[in-house]
Chains A and B, each alone.
Chain A
Amino acid sequence: MYESLMKVITGYSLLSGFAIVGITMWVSYWMSDKLTKGRLHGSAIAILLGLLLSYIGGAYTGGQKGLVDIPLFAGIGLLGGAMLRDFAIVATGFGVSVEELKRAGVAGVLALFVGVLASFVAGVGVAMAFGYTDVVSLTTIGTGAVTYIVGPVTGAAIGASSDVMALSIAAGLIKAILVMVATPFVAPYIGLNNPRSAVIFGGLMGTSSGVAGGLAATDPKLVPYGCLTAAFYTALGCLLGPSLLYFMMRGLLG
């Protein structure tokens, strides 16, 4: 009985993924309705539940993919993997107003540069406060605060040690998770309720999964605007990290 059940669930993993996520969504919307009277959006609760489950999965298996490392939930990996995620994000672009995009274009590009630089400075500042002094480690941790891809890419290029790279990945992951969790709560205070601010938000935060999750929990209509600029962020970080930012740090700290 158990064996047959597992065979079906793992063999039809994508379908089990749909079923499990569907149940999670139902529970979340029920909680949103009953416990918060709709004040906290159901999708925000669902994302929080997802992150919580991922923590439990990671603590239980010691793996790196959260809940997905448990074979029973492997289908969620396919459903939430890069392929279907990008597919669905692109699909949300179908309702986009070109006029809104044009109006936010310049500000979006500016936000990308400001976003990479600000995150980098924040990361370097914290690393300095924790006693790091060498340029390579500072740059690597700073670029980790840009995104968890930019950190290791830069670290590898300038020869950082593997534990500093691990720290920079962790900083980037924290950023992605925090953006997912905090955006719906912060949105009313920073005016994140229209396409233009979403474009700017995407450029400033840049972490694709964070922006995708955070905007989904805030207002799904804003998703395409934010994700459009965020799509360029990691690449810009990878471009600036080992070059401009590293040279800047070397110039400042010798």
Chain B
Amino acid sequence: MIIYGVAFLAFCTLAGIFIGELLGKLIGVPANVGGVGIAMMLLIFLGSYLKKRGLFTGKSEQGVEFWSAIYIPIVVAMAAQQNVYGALSGGPMAILAGAAAVIIGFALVPALCRIGQKKADAEAASPLPKAPR
């Protein structure tokens, strides 16, 4: 049933965000610590576990897939409620500070990718001989 998928997604989201809130309290920061990320992990791992057991079938999957497909319209709705006017009226310094952060961020993506790749290749290469099939 489709509702099983929607309910499962809701459970994962709520649980993840709850854990994120608790982590925030624990560390002492007034922010949710990775709630969405934790929720996603729950969905991935619980989902594949249930699938293996045959408890999560095609119909249930549709309940998750719908929300995944509706993601872009939701992002458009999110864009329509950003405080664009407020941000632009913050003046040249705010605009430049934000822009500088973005430019540096973009520039660092290829640099970090290279570092990541080397490490990842080494990691990916090493476990192979240990586990022959």
- Complex Cα distance A88/B13, Å? 9
Q: Which residues of B contact A22 (CB under 8 A)?
A: 73
- Complex Cα distance A21/B78, Å? 10
B99 contacts the other chain (Cβ, under 8 Å)?
A: yes
Least CB distance from B42 to A in Å reads 8
A248 contacts the other chain (Cβ, under 8 Å)?
A: no
- Complex Cα distance A89/B43, Å? 11
Q: Which residues of B contact A48 (CB under 8 A)?
A: 79
- A173 and B9 in contact (CB under 8 A), knowing A123-B97, A227-B36? no
A139 contacts the other chain (Cβ, under 8 Å)?
A: no
Least CB distance from B30 to A in Å reads 6
B126 contacts the other chain (Cβ, under 8 Å)?
A: no
Tell me whether B123 and A103 are in contact (CB under 8 A): yes
Q: Which residues of A contact B117 (CB under 8 A)?
A: 107, 196
Q: Which residues of B contact A129 (CB under 8 A)?
A: 96
> Among A25, A73, A200, A201, which residue has its beta carbon within 8 angstroms of that of B76?
A25
Least CB distance from A71 to B in Å reads 13
Tell me whether B44 and A229 are in contact (CB under 8 A): no
- A232 and B99 in contact (CB under 8 A), knowing A93-B44, A98-B44? no
- Complex Cα distance A186/B100, Å? 15
Q: Which residues of A contact B124 (CB under 8 A)?
A: 103
Tell me whether A174 and B113 are in contact (CB under 8 A): no
Q: Which residues of B contact A150 (CB under 8 A)?
A: 31
Q: Which residues of A contact B89 (CB under 8 A)?
A: 170
A145 contacts the other chain (Cβ, under 8 Å)?
A: yes
**Interface size of A in residues (CB-CB distance below 8 Å):** 117
> Among A171, A220, A238, which residue has its beta carbon within 8 angstroms of that of B97?
A171
**Interface size of B in residues (CB-CB distance below 8 Å):** 84
- Complex Cα distance A168/B90, Å? 9
B residues 89-125 with Cβ under 8 Å of A?
Answer: 89-110, 112-113, 115-117, 119-120, 123-124
Tell me whether B80 and A232 are in contact (CB under 8 A): no
Nearest A residue to B43, CB-CB: A93
How many A-B Cβ pairs are below 8 Å?
347
Tell me whether A123 and B72 are in contact (CB under 8 A): no
- Complex Cα distance A213/B71, Å? 10
Q: Which residues of B contact A191 (CB under 8 A)?
A: 109-110, 113
Least CB distance from A121 to B in Å reads 8
Tell me whether B106 and A126 are in contact (CB under 8 A): no
Tell me whether B68 and A173 are in contact (CB under 8 A): no
> Among A64, A93, A227, A238, which residue has its beta carbon within 8 angstroms of that of B29?
A238
Q: Which residues of B contact A93 (CB under 8 A)?
A: 39-41, 43-44
- Complex Cα distance A8/B71, Å? 25
Mask for A121-135, Cβ within 8 A of B = 1, else 0? 111011101100000
B residues 48-79 with Cβ under 8 Å of A?
Answer: 48, 61, 64-68, 70-79
Tell me whether B71 and A118 are in contact (CB under 8 A): no
Nearest B residue to A224, CB-CB: B40
Q: Which residues of B contact A111 (CB under 8 A)?
A: 108, 112
Least CB distance from A86 to B in Å reads 5
- A192 and B109 in contact (CB under 8 A), knowing A79-B74, A98-B44? yes
- A94 and B109 in contact (CB under 8 A), knowing A106-B119, A235-B29? no
Mask for B13-36, Cβ within 8 A of A = 1, else 0? 100110010011001011111111
Q: Which residues of B contact A52 (CB under 8 A)?
A: 84
Least CB distance from A131 to B in Å reads 9
A-B contacts, 6 of them at CB < 8 A, read A46-B76, A86-B17, A174-B99, A200-B109, A235-B29, A235-B34
